[in-house]
């Protein structure tokens, strides 16, 4: 365990409530145990640790993130790895060279609490910055055999609002419309619900035109008036 990882574990342990750990683990259906750290104290503790131990360059940052991720013994340590990817000091490190790191975290994390943050806030950021490279990659991921890469492709524009590339959004959704998996259907509905905040009429037309029903439809239209 490297110095930063030791500092992360110590900081998390200091704010942990071990009595909450079993409930947190059960809720997340996690094989990896929890320390019992709620989100707000976790983020506060990690910001302090990350600020006290800055990383000098992008390759070292990527190595540190993956070391923390791979060597984690508690789920909060993997949350820490994700938060380290988004820490303010490392915004300039958000380049295409970070993509293999995110891909590994998505595929090996393979659960919504990890993947959704990475999809919306990290992969989405790369798409916004490097659309010529990321757009065809997201189209490929949308048809990948890995569920969580498909979910990432569907969700990666969730914060784009009026900048949403609807062609890409629909092209990532449509190969997955026949998928009965809960997490796929939920992702389709969530992505459409977010775009509905920008263009509700277009979202309703798309849902009706594509014959989207069930869970995805309910999620997509849940904040829109019935009619």
Per-residue tens of pLDDT for the chain, all 227 residues: 689 999 999 999 999 999 999 999 999 999 999 999 999 999 999 999 999 999 999 999 999 999 999 999 999 999 999 999 999 999 999 999 999 999 999 999 999 999 999 999 999 999 999 999 999 999 999 999 999 999 999 999 999 999 999 999 999 999 999 999 999 999 999 999 999 999 999 999 999 999 999 999 999 999 998 75
Give the closest residue to 191 by CA, choosing from 223, 225, 224, 216.
Answer: 216
Predicted TM-score (pTM) of the model is: 0.96
How far is it, in rounded angstroms, from Cα 133 to Cα 205? 30
**What kind of architecture, by CATH, is found in domain 94-227?**
Alpha Horseshoe (1.25)
Domain locations in the chain as residue ranges: 1-89, 94-227
pLDDT of residue 225: 86
CATH of domain 1-89: 1.25.10.90
| pLDDT (0 to 100) of residue 2 | 86
**Given this model, what pLDDT does residue 1 score?**
62
With contact defined as beta carbons under 8 Å apart, do 42 and 33 qualify? no
pLDDT of residue 175: 97
pLDDT at 64: 97
CA distances in angstroms from 192 to 93, 119, 163, 224, listed in the order given: 30, 15, 14, 11
Predicted local distance difference test score (pLDDT) of residue 226: 72
pLDDT at 227: 57
């Amino acid at each position: 365990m490297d110095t930063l990882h030791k500092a992360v574990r110590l900081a998390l342990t200091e704010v942990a409530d071990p009595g909450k750990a079993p409930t947190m683990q059960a809720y997340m259906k996690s094989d990896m145990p929890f320390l019992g750290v709620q989100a707000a104290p976790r983020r506060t503790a990690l910001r302090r640790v990350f600020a006290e131990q800055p990383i000098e360059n992008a390759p070292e940052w990527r190595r540190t993130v993956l070391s923390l991720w791979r060597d984690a013994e508690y789920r909060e340590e993997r949350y820490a790895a994700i938060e380290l990817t988004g820490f303010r000091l490392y915004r300039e490190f958000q380049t295409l060279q970070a993509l293999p790191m995110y891909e590994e975290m998505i595929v090996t994390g393979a659960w919504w609490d990890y993947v959704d943050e990475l999809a919306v806030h990290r992969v989405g950021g790369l798409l916004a910055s490097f659309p010529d490279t990321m757009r065809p990659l997201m189209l490929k991921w949308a048809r990948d055999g890995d569920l969580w890469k498909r979910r990432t492709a569907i969700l990666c524009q969730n914060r784009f609002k009026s900048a949403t590339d609807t062609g890409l959004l629909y092209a990532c959704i449509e190969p997955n419309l026949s998928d009965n998996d809960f997490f796929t259907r939920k992702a389709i509905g969530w992505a459409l619900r977010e775009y509905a905040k920008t263009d509700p009429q277009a979202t309703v037309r798309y849902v009706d035109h594509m014959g989207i029903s069930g869970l995805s439809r309910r999620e997509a239209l849940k904040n829109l008036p019935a009619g």
